[in-house]
């Protein structure tokens, strides 16, 4: 059975469920033969409180037992990650409970920040931010810039980062609510700040990814037992995000062989007992791709796979998995639904979980032609039937709404309390129960692109023209004078229409203004856009 791999990088979650591990997974291994001494240019691991072990505590995070160090009243995880009170809510006993929401993404791909007066050399911070901006879609915005003030409402808690000088390097993972801190030592470097900002974005350490044991050996005899919690690995299960691509020794999030060594001998080696060094100069290519995937807002189906992209910058990366051939996709604010000729997959867009079939398409029947979503129900056109998947999905088969009435159907959308289906040359208004339908317009033969924007329905015809449809009379009204490619794809992000046409991704406003957002979109056979209004 072919599965879609989850969109996540080593230590990141796509929208961000926290990776968890149990210290029970860590077992001492045999010492390395012919151990090498640390190199002169060894890079020490980033630590919030260098030289302090703190009080080792156990906690429960989303039902999984973890170990962390309590130092200066803070929960320090993996050496430099500060868990917030919301992530670890103490219950007054030896165990801790966690809130369901652990980590999220920064809104609008923007990270507001301030720099505390304790920071004397701002250049290392600015250089680290500049590298992230130059290679990804993320942007940093000075919260106190009076020429470009950050909108503040007394009813909304603004998430932002404050850079400050402390004893060592520290940060939280993703936005944790309100003000949070990135701490650097007085001698902080661009590389150290870049590592901490990667945490802030939502990334974890490379050496703790679930498949770590296939690439790295842990030599527990060469480290203090109190440091064991810093080299655990995340649970390898279907509930946590899977790694993004292959293990990356060049990642800005990787630690070297001698991290946490208490005797000068290596703690981590390759599988053939060789030591390795790491870099703190730049984001690796895989780091960059992971961030782009993590903050993507457009999903593109192509003949060879699914690609994740950013609509504004045009940066795209290939899904870490593999799903070639025919596919249809639909995205809500939380879920991505993908159908090939054999399966319907559901994937949680925020947590990265899922990616496994929720329905097996019966053999001998046709593939799903189109999707739409309404009132927590996914509607699909398949083999002439209108299907309804009610969520939360409990398995089994979807409900067939009516008979096999839609053999010629090619497109579906939801607006104003009804479904609208194009079948053959006719546009139908259909009730959500499928019990009633009526033709409201003609001339739609061959139309496969039908979407809703602010309760208005738009159709992209094979002629390459975009129309807004009068839902009372069914009359199409030309929306723009632009002619689009014959294989153009249409979607809505809740604010505007997005169209892939040739090599370009176009933004089309409600008033009909067309703007080229970016290039590099050639070969798209399907388009799904994250729409926060579709829940």
Which residues belong to the annotated binding site for Zn(2+)?
195, 199, 205
8 Å CB contact between 164 and 183: yes
User: What burial class does residue 298 get, using C-beta atoms within 10 Å of its C-beta: 0-12 exposed, 13-18 middle, 19+ buried?
Assistant: buried
CA 461 to the chain's CA centroid: 32
Residue of 327, 333, 276 lying closest to 534 (CA atoms): 333
The residues, any chain, with a CB within 8 Å of residue 240's CB and separated by 6 or more, are: 13, 17, 19, 20, 210, 234, 352, 353
**SS3 at position 465:** coil
**SS3 at position 107:** helix
Residue of 156, 206, 181 lying closest to 48 (CA atoms): 181
CA 380 to the chain's CA centroid: 25
User: What burial class does residue 215 get, using C-beta atoms within 10 Å of its C-beta: 0-12 exposed, 13-18 middle, 19+ buried?
Assistant: middle
Q: Regarding beta strands 497-501 and 504-508, do their DSSP bridges make them parallel or antiparallel, or are they unpaired?
A: antiparallel
Q: How far apart are CA 287 and CA 515, in angstroms?
A: 30
CA 378 to the chain's CA centroid: 21
Residue of 404, 412, 417, 484 lying closest to 455 (CA atoms): 417
Residue of 198, 215, 187, 318 lying closest to 251 (CA atoms): 198
User: What burial class does residue 56 get, using C-beta atoms within 10 Å of its C-beta: 0-12 exposed, 13-18 middle, 19+ buried?
Assistant: middle
Q: How far apart are CA 18 and CA 225, in angstroms?
A: 24
Q: Spell 76-96 as b/e; 16+ CB within 10 A means b.
A: bbbbbbbbbeebbeeeeeeeb
Detail the DSSP E strand segments found in 146-187.
160-165, 179-184
416 φ, ψ (degrees, to nearest 5): 50, 35
8 Å CB contact between 61 and 18: yes
Q: Which of 196, 206, 346, 449 is catalytic?
A: 196
Angular region, 236: left φ>0, alpha ψ -120 to 50, beta rest = beta
The Cα diameter of the chain in Å comes to: 82
Instruction: Say whether 89 is catalytic.
Output: no
Q: How far apart are CA 462 and CA 143, in angstroms?
A: 47
Catalytic residue numbers, as ranges: 196
């Amino acid at each position: 059975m072919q599965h879609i791999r989850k969109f996540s990088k080593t230590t990141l979650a796509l929208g961000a469920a926290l990776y968890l591990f149990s210290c029970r997974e860590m077992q001492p291994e045999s010492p390395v033969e012919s151990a090498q001494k640390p190199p002169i240019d060894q890079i020490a691991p980033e630590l919030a409180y260098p030289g302090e072990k703190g009080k080792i505590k156990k906690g429960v995070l989303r039902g999984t037992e973890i170990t962390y160090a309590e130092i200066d009243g803070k929960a320090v995880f993996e050496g430099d990650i500060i868990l917030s009170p919301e992530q670890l809510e103490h219950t007054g006993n030896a165990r801790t409970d966690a809130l369901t929401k652990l980590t999220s993404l920064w809104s609008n791909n923007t990270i507001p920040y301030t720099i505390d007066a304790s920071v004397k050399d701002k250049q290392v911070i600015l250089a680290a931010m500049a590298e992230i901006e130059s290679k990804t879609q993320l942007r940093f915005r000075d919260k106190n810039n009076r020429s470009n003030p950050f909108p503040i409402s007394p009813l909304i808690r603004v998430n932002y980062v404050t850079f400050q000088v402390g004893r060592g390097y520290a940060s939280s993972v993703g936005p944790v609510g309100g003000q949070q801190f990135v701490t650097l030592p007085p001698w902080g470097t661009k590389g150290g700040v870049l590592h901490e900002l990667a945490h802030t974005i939502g990334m974890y350490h490379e050496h703790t990814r679930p498949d770590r044991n296939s690439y790295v050996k842990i030599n527990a005899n060469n480290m203090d037992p109190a440091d064991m919690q810093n080299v655990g690995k995340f649970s390898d299960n279907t509930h946590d995000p899977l790694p993004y691509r292959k293990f990356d020794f060049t990642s800005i999030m990787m630690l070297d062989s001698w991290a946490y060594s208490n005797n000068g001998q290596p703690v981590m080696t390759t599988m053939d007992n060789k030591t390795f060094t790491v870099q703190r100069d730049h984001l690796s290519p895989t780091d960059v791709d992971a961030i782009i995937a993590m903050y993507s807002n457009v999903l593109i189906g192509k003949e060879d796979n699914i690609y994740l992209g950013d609509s504004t910058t045009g940066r795209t990366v290939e899904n870490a998995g593999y799903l070639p051939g025919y596919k249809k996709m639909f995205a809500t604010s939380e879920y991505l639904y993908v159908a090939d000729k054999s399966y319907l997959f559901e994937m949680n867009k925020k947590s990265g979980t899922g990616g496994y079939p929720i329905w097996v398409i019966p053999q001998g029947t046709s593939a799903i032609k189109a999707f739409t979503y309404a009132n927590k129900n996914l509607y699909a056109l398949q083999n002439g039937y209108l299907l309804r998947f009610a969520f939360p999905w409990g398995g089994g088969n979807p409900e067939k709404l009516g008979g096999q009435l839609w053999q010629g159907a090619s497109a579906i959308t939801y607006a104003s309390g009804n479904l609208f289906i194009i079948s053959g040359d006719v546009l139908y208004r259909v009730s959500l129960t499928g019990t009633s339908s009526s033709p409201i317009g003609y001339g739609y033969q061959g139309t496969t692109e039908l979407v809703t924007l602010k309760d208005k329905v738009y159709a992209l015809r094979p002629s390459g023209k975009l129309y807004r449809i009068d839902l009372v009379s069914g009359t199409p009204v030309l929306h723009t004078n632009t002619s689009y490619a014959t294989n153009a794809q249409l979607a809505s992000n809740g604010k505007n229409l997005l169209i892939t046409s040739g090599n370009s991704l176009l933004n089309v406003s409600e008033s009909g203004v067309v703007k080229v957002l970016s290039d590099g979109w050639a070969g798209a056979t399907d388009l799904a856009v994250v729409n926060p209004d579709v829940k």
